[in-house]
Amino acid sequence: MHYITLLIILGGLVLLVILAYNKLVSLRNQTENAWHQIDVQLKRRHDLIPNLVNTVKGYMKHEQSTLKTLTELRSNLVKGDINSKARANDQFSNILKSIFAVAENYPKLQASRNFLNLQEELSATENKISYSRQFYNDAVYNLNTTIESFPTNIIAGIFKFSKKLYFGVEESEKRLVKVEF
């Protein structure tokens, strides 16, 4: 009788470990998938920038330093860790907004089919990045909460699951990049 009770308790513990482990694996994979979705969108935006710079530079002769900064930031979008990509993403978004705002002073540029198409594509990509970023941060929240919660924290420690970083920036670096024309 005692053996049966002991086997039931042991079987329950093994089942608990299996369920907790599988949940942690699922959440880790969801987080990694979400990160790859961000990477896809950052790469897409990275690939659109040379077209934007080539379209704009003929019209915006006075803003060449901004275009140069945009080109320099472009390389930071696809290299580095999550935090460096997040910083580059925020700076990049702010410079793009500035370019589109300044473009209003150039009627010929505003009428350019290439510029309008690029502006539309970049705007759609920005929205996809924002959505992907939110999805990633939600996945990180779920994973980190599960890793910290009892009893999965014990299983996470045994199998060396680690918390992930949010796609964000340092508080001191969070706001607008100063762009001067």
| Consecutive 10-residue averages of pLDDT for the chain (181 residues) | 91 96 98 94 87 76 71 76 82 82 78 83 90 96 97 96 84 43 34
Q: Report the residue count for the chain.
A: 181
In CATH, 36-173 is 1.20.1440.20: yes
Confidence at residue 180, expressed as pLDDT on a 0 to 100 scale: 42
Residue 107: cis peptide before it, omega within 30 degrees of 0 = no
Confidence at residue 101, expressed as pLDDT on a 0 to 100 scale: 80
Confidence at residue 169, expressed as pLDDT on a 0 to 100 scale: 55
Confidence at residue 12, expressed as pLDDT on a 0 to 100 scale: 95
Confidence at residue 158, expressed as pLDDT on a 0 to 100 scale: 96
Contact 156, 70 (CB under 8 A): no
pTM here? 0.76
Q: How far is CA 37 from the centre of its chain?
A: 8
